Amino acid sequence: MWEAGLEELFGRVADCFRSDQPRAQARAYVAGLLSRTERKNGWTLAEFSREAGPQKMQRLLNEYVWNADAMRDIVQSYVVENLAEPDGVLVVDETGFVKKGTSSAGVQRQYSGTAGRIESCQIGVFAAYVSGKGRAFVDRELYLPASWTDDRARCTAAGVPARVGFATKPLLALDMIRRFWVTHRQLGWVAGDEVYGGDPELRDWLEEHRVGYVLAVKKDTEVTTTVGRRRVDVLASKVPARAWETYSCADGSKGPCGVPEVGLGL
């Protein structure tokens, strides 16, 4: 049962909190997220924890202080201990958090994959570890647009440290990949979409450290072959149809969700 794992994990992260109260509230919050409660918000999580109202849950997110980076490191170690396999994959991707105000760090009108359009939102870049044993988030970074990092007064007002400058989403992803690799050295593959596949620095680092990767790229991307530079779409068109294999990425409501042409049966 997940309750036993939750108790073990929160036993490890006790020192990340200044007192028992925020630690207990964080445990209740995570327990609510792991529950079968259909909708997850302050009220429903409070009801799951048998609290009179959402005030304690809101206080956890708005007021309580804990060492988030130390907790991240402990969670990563816990995930590696329980899920690591030689061919484990670190998946990097971003998601948007729609916001109505203008004060939240990083918020501006930008494309949100969550909403499927340009919205006023924050963008977070995340890393999840996936293996045959399961999957779990292991890291996160907040994307700060240049409109924010160029306005240090605005950053200070939002609590952004002075040392934090502009970084692209691929660079944030590379920072997370490096952290994971340096600490655990148990990384077989990295996967991501075109946002990350289009960054040569990220690809070069993976190749230099002999980490396999499957990253989407634009069709006009050129790669070096034995006969010179060639566009990837031209190379793909020369592969016979029988060489392509179709894999299922997940089980959908109507059966396996097929992802065509994701692998070469060569």
Q: Decide if pLDDT at 265 tops 50.
A: no
CA dist 150 → 109, 124, 145, 147 (Å) = 16, 19, 9, 6
Res. 259 pLDDT band, cuts 50 70 90: low
Are 16 and 70 spatial neighbours (Cβ–Cβ below 8 Å)?
Answer: yes
Q: Decide if pLDDT at 4 tops 90.
A: no
Q: What end-to-end distance do the CA atoms of the chain give, in Å?
A: 42
Please give the structure tokens belonging to residue 55.
Answer: 């005030």
Res. 266 pLDDT band, cuts 50 70 90: very low
Beta-sheet pairing, 228-231 with 222-225: antiparallel
Over the stretch 61-94, which tens digit does the pLDDT of each residue have?
A: 889 999 999 999 999 999 999 999 999 999 999 9
| DSSP at 241 | G
Over the stretch 230-240, which tens digit does the pLDDT of each residue have?
A: 999 999 898 89
For residue 114, what pLDDT is reported?
81
Q: Decide if pLDDT at 247 tops 90.
A: no
One DSSP character per residue, 171-185 reads HHHHHHHHHHHHHH-
Taking residues 154-179, what's their average pLDDT?
A: 96
For residue 244, what pLDDT is reported?
84
For residue 161, what pLDDT is reported?
93
Taking residues 89-113, what's their average pLDDT?
A: 93
> How much is the mean pLDDT over the chain?
90
Report the share of the chain in percent with pLDDT over 70. 93
Q: At what angle do helices 20-34 and 55-62 cross, to 10 degrees?
A: 110
Taking residues 111-127, what's their average pLDDT?
A: 92
Beta-sheet pairing, 212-215 with 189-192: parallel
Q: Decide if pLDDT at 55 tops 70.
A: yes
User: Which are the contacts of 156, defined by CB distance < 8 A and separation ≥ 6?
Assistant: 162
Res. 264 pLDDT band, cuts 50 70 90: very low
Q: Decide if pLDDT at 245 tops 90.
A: no
Most distant pair of Cα atoms in the chain: their distance: 70
Q: Decide if pLDDT at 149 tops 70.
A: yes
For residue 258, what pLDDT is reported?
55
For residue 1, what pLDDT is reported?
60
Taking residues 109-123, what's their average pLDDT?
A: 91
Are 227 and 220 spatial neighbours (Cβ–Cβ below 8 Å)?
Answer: no
Please give the structure tokens belonging to residue 216.
Answer: 């989407």
Class of the CATH domain delimited by 68-217: alpha beta
Q: Decide if pLDDT at 263 tops 60.
A: no
